[in-house]
Structure 1
Amino acid sequence: MKLVPFFLVCAILGGCTTTPVRQGWQDDVERLGVGAVTSAWHFAAQWGMFDLYFDAMTDDAVFMGTDASERWTKAEFMEYAREPFSDHDGWTYKPRDQHVAFSADRKTAWIDELLDNEKYGVLRGTGVLVKVGDDWKIAHYSLTFLVPNEIAGEVVELIAGDE
């Protein structure tokens, strides 16, 4: 009689199955986190939300602008942004088509994204984010103009003539 409950438990547990967890779900969760940070960062720039914008960056972050002279540390970039952000109207780059890759330990993420801008058209942003505690922070971001190959020679000549 003592074996009946044992076999009953075995039969019940043996009938239970587990659904295998899809591989890569951790990357999906982290990708959402990275996307949330970069989307909020672009939103904060558009509305001149100084603290939100710069809180999304690591203390040693670097921002690379479109001009060859534009390599800013976070402190330098904060100084540059004070004036445009002072009236709560910064700059607008609307992200789309973002790609994210992760290091094996999921503590570093690399992004590239296309950005729409009213004045400049389509640009590309590339960046590196690092995990700080439970949060993703932007450690490096580079903003670049996209030049069609067909006119690249002309553009290079214009730039060379400007230097």
Structure 2
Amino acid sequence: MLLVSQGCFAQGSARSTADTDAIGGVLDAYHAAAAAGDWNTYFDLMSEDGVFLGTDADERWTKSEFRAYAGNRSGWLYSSVRRNINITPDGMSAWFDEILDSASYGTSRGTGVLIRTDAGWKISQYHLTLPIPNELAGKVTDEIKAFESEQ
């Protein structure tokens, strides 16, 4: 019985490692496609009902809306510096967080959800944020409040 349990754990662990590697590959390909302005690949990596949440509070793009927005742009470059990936016990979905580096914005953070499909892992939600150091939070949030009050 113990050998069977260890065998099942090892198999589950191998699957988890393979899935983690596959998910990391999807995210790396997503960033590479954005940098190259390869929008067909970029949007093929998203699920059909996928959404992109941008840095602005009002930015919630469906896949089709974001495709129309990105279509004439040359792309943007974000490089993953550090990434954490978690997979649900049933192995059908995963969530991640990653610290990104960008020439435009410096340090940023991506978080999101992927789902397992017949075609492999697909990004169901990607959320790009600009982390604010705690020491600057008061100043930055005051600026945001002032900006919003003028709108």
Same fold (TM over 0.5): yes
Q: Among 83, 94, 98, which residue is 2:72 paired with?
A: 83
Q: Tell me how far apart the structure 2 counterparts of residues 72 and 82 of structure 1 sit (CA, whole Å).
A: 13
Q: CA deviation at 1:96?
A: 2.1
- The reply on whether 1:153 has 2:138 as its aligned counterpart is yes
Residue aligning to 1:40: 29
Q: CA deviation at 1:25?
A: 1.7
Residue aligning to 2:52: 63
Q: CA deviation at 1:67?
A: 0.5
Q: Indicate the RMSD between aligned Cα atoms, in angstroms.
A: 1.2
Residues 64-108 of structure 1 show CA distances to partners (whole Å, capped at 9, x for unaligned) of: 000011100101000110111xxxx30011112110101111010
**What amino acid does structure 2 have at the position aligned with 1:42?**
H
Secondary structure (helix, strand or coil) at the match of 1:83 reads coil
Residue aligning to 2:20: 31
**What amino acid does structure 1 have at the position aligned with 2:132?**
V
**What amino acid does structure 2 have at the position aligned with 1:146?**
P
Identity %: 42
Give the 4+ runs in structure 1 shifted more than 4 A. Answer: none
Residue aligning to 1:54: 43
**What amino acid does structure 1 have at the position aligned with 2:25?**
A
**Structure 1 residue ranges without an equivalent (≥5):** 1-19
Q: Structure 1 residues 95 and 154 mapped into 2: Cα distance closer, same or farther (>3 Å)?
A: same
Secondary structure (helix, strand or coil) at the match of 1:115 reads strand
Residue aligning to 2:80: 95
Q: CA deviation at 1:51?
A: 0.4
Radius of gyration: which is bigger? 1
**What amino acid does structure 2 have at the position aligned with 1:72?**
W
Q: Among 95, 119, 123, which residue is 1:138 paired with?
A: 123
The number of equivalent residue pairs is 140
- With structure 2 as the length reference, what TM-score do the two structures score? 0.89
Q: Among 106, 112, 125, which residue is 2:91 paired with?
A: 106
Secondary structure (helix, strand or coil) at the match of 1:43 reads helix
Residues 37-69 of structure 1 show CA distances to partners (whole Å, capped at 9, x for unaligned) of: 010010000000010000000110010000011
Residues 105-154 of structure 1 show CA distances to partners (whole Å, capped at 9, x for unaligned) of: 10101010010001211111001000001500000010000100011000
- With structure 1 as the length reference, what TM-score do the two structures score? 0.83
